[in-house]
Amino acid sequence: MAQPQASFYFNVQSREQALCQLVGKALKQRLAIGIAADSEATAARLDRLLWEVPATGFLPHCHPRDAVAAETPVWLDHRLETLAGRAVLFNWTGQVVPVALGAGRVIEIVARDDEAGRQAARQRVAQYKDAGYLVDYTDMAQTRQS
């Protein structure tokens, strides 16, 4: 099994916009995508967001136990175990995703103006490294300028 990867996208203006943008990119690559929320309420908020963004369409998603899950590329839930084995897992929980979950790549999105979130992300970087993840970083402020 390949070494799991944790990718941190930081300096984003809006975590929600970045989530939709990055999920859209993963969809174009035809990857199995999971989005892990920290609660049912957050999952419901993200569900609405994925139906509304982009403005000219939507990002096809469902709950992992929905009847259409086998045909739906993006699964959204607040229970990590239902998202096991997804190629890409967007982590909206604030916790480190265990290697045993089998996600090939975990994506963390860190807002530029959220100092508490930035500090928590720094702690998760160390925890991901300790867990055996290969960690990489993308400065979204730099990518907007280029």
Write out the E strands in 13-97: 33-37, 61-62, 74-77, 88-92
Q: Quick one: CA dihedral 107, 28, 38, 78, positive or negative? A: negative
**pTM value > 0.85:** yes
Q: Is the dihedral of CA 33, 45, 22, 136 positive or negative?
A: negative
CATH topology of domain 5-145: Rossmann fold (3.40.50)
How far is residue 59's CA from residue 104's CA, in Å, rounded to a whole number?
Answer: 21
pLDDT, residue 146, reads 40
Residue 145: per-residue pLDDT: 43
Find all residues with CB under 8 Å of 64, minimum gap 6, and list them: 34, 75, 77, 82, 83
Residue 65, token pair as written in the block: 């136990």
pLDDT score, position 26: 94
State the virtual CA torsion across 142, 45, 57, 88 in degrees, nearest 10.
60
pLDDT of residue 1: 59
The 10 Å Cβ neighbour count of residue 140 is 19
From first to last of the 146 residues of the chain, give the pLDDT tens digit.
589 999 999 999 999 999 999 999 999 999 999 999 999 999 999 998 988 876 666 788 999 999 999 999 999 999 999 999 999 999 999 999 999 999 999 999 999 999 999 999 999 999 999 999 999 999 998 765 44
The DSSP 8-state label assigned to residue 98 in this structure reads: P
Predicted local confidence at residue 123, as pLDDT: 96
In the prediction, which pLDDT does 56 show?
63
Structure tokens at 35: 């989005």
- Kindly list the domain boundaries of the chain, sorted by start residue: 5-145
Query: For position 53, what pLDDT does the model report?
Result: 74
